[in-house]
Amino acid sequence: MKLLFVLLIMATYVIPAFPQNGEEIRRPAVAGRFYPADADTLKSDVEGLLAAADVDAAAGVRAVVVPHAGYVFSGAVAAKAFARIAPSSHYRRIFLLGPSHRAAFEGASVNVACSAYATPLGTVEVDGETCAKLLAADDVFCHVPEAHQKEHSIEVQLPFLQERLDTLPPIVPVIVGTHQISKLRRMAEVLQTYFTPENLFVVSSDFSHYPSYEDACRVDKATGEAILSTSVKIFLDTVAGNSRLGVPNLLTSACGQAPIAVLLLMMEQARGVRMEHLAYCNSGDSPYGGHDEVVGYHAFAVVGDGDTVREQRSREVFSLTADEKSALLEIARKSIANRLSGCMELPYDSTRMTGNLAKNCGAFVTLRLHGKLRGCIGMLVGRRPLYLTVSDMACAAAFEDPRFPPVTQDEMWDIHIDISVLSPLKRIYSVEAFELGRHGIFIVKGDRQGTFLPQVAGQTHWTKEEFLGHCARDKARIGWDGWRDAELYVYEAEVFDEGCAE
């Protein structure tokens, strides 16, 4: 009670410093609770979180997905996303899309009643003209005053924007109250016009609500990978699937499910953008949170063609050294051997991993016995450090590939290991963008999906159409021509094996 009393005093103390223009200024509803109400303290805290984020800034950030909990729980994760934005970025406006925690309604409420939002760091102008245009564009956009008055999902993002950007443009505050996919599509169609390099979209969402720490990590991992796919169907199916798992106390997988779906719908129609995963934790990782009932937090960024030169060069030159390849092959073999022998020793020394080995990369591990396939399992999307992914996939290939019985101790002497380290998935809209031999293919249609690694082309000598047809029919199970109206993604792979790790 004493702490609550102090926080209430802090919040009350700061409000008189804001302009007194009645309903025109939207006053802070959660200052002193979700973040400090004192301007100097807030500025110092946000600056510290951004400085600690250790993320390369990019000039081409189109959108971020950020949590909206109290800063002591989710501030460090949110800072990763905001730190991805170059401070010198010049946006025309910022769209803030958040879920409704206070009001029940169908549609998206645009705050046309306020000319500005106040925080302890000052006021942020509202782009009234754009707000009005949204209302006129489709009646799925409306104005529900109570959706904005006490809502925190947008408010907590503003101090980060105020501190990060050298020039802060006006904002367009939108609270999404519906989960109907037809209405979300209508919102996305209107907002698509604004999904350009001149605007920034800030999508507010926490993730799993109230399961145990371990269950949250498992559920949030699945939800995060679905978002990285950039497929709204995969995302919504994953969220629905999570709810059917029977996880104790799981209230939702993503309270901002609807705003995230709108973002993914816009990405499906965009060109030259990609989704990046930047960070994850849950409230159990904070010294102020327990492990019995936690809330999960992810940070993502959508980056377009305006990347910094430094980042472009970084992607071009990313390549594993011979020592790094040897280390991964050793980790893969030790992981399998340890499982066979029951040894509990870790197959790696995490303190000696290089920067490349610590990056989040997808990877496949392939096992061959006397030249024939003996197991192959992989992860297309990099959600964990590369050395951990290789360790996990090696064991999965040896013991969990449903096409083969588990590898035995006697076989280990003759097992040959290949590793394919993958680049991020890239959505393509024409097969002309698919280069046979250079690209792997990932095909998604409904709840069916399948993939072929790039090297399959060299092993089979198929034509491009045969490559796609076999993947659609034999892997995704959608028929030979199923790829023609499916979602197509490409990726590249750096492939090496125990015969030649250089």
* Window from 234-243, 319-328, 341-350 with minimum mean pLDDT: 341-350
Question: Are residue 403 and residue 486 in the same domain, yes or no?
Answer: no
pLDDT for residue 305: 57
- Of 256, 290, 313, the residue at which a domain comes to its end is 313
Question: Are residue 97 and residue 112 in the same domain, yes or no?
Answer: yes
Q: Distance of CA 40 to CAs 78, 79, 156, 169, Å?
A: 20, 18, 16, 22
pLDDT band at 164 (very low <50, low <70, confident <90, very high): very high
Q: Over the stretch 340-352, which tens digit does the pLDDT of each residue have? A: 999 888 898 877 8
Question: Are residue 293 and residue 174 in the same domain, yes or no?
Answer: yes
Question: Are residue 380 and residue 443 in the same domain, yes or no?
Answer: no
Tally of structural domains, the chain: 3
Question: Are residue 223 and residue 152 in the same domain, yes or no?
Answer: yes
Tell me how far apart the alpha carbons of residues 4 and 339 are, in angstroms, rounded to a whole number. Answer: 51
The enclosing domain of 254 has a CATH number of: 3.40.830.10
State yes or no: pLDDT of 309 exceeds 50.
Answer: no
Quick one: average pLDDT of 450-477? 93
Asked if residues 171 and 115 have their Cβ atoms less than 8 Å apart, the reply is no
Question: Are residue 206 and residue 238 in the same domain, yes or no?
Answer: yes
- Of 275, 293, 313, the residue at which a domain comes to its end is 313
Asked if residues 441 and 451 have their Cβ atoms less than 8 Å apart, the reply is yes
pLDDT for residue 23: 55
Q: Over the stretch 71-120, which tens digit does the pLDDT of each residue have? A: 999 999 999 999 999 999 999 999 999 999 999 999 999 999 999 999 99
Question: Are residue 213 and residue 305 in the same domain, yes or no?
Answer: yes
502 within domain boundaries: no
Q: Distance of CA 381 to CAs 53, 226, 385, 473, Å?
A: 22, 9, 11, 23
**Domain extent at residue 409:** 322-422
30 within domain boundaries: no
Quick one: average pLDDT of 239-258? 95
Asked if residues 192 and 269 have their Cβ atoms less than 8 Å apart, the reply is yes
The enclosing domain of 431 has a CATH number of: 3.30.1490.150
Question: Are residue 167 and residue 272 in the same domain, yes or no?
Answer: yes
The enclosing domain of 330 has a CATH number of: 3.30.700.20
DSSP state of 436: B
pTM summary value: 0.63
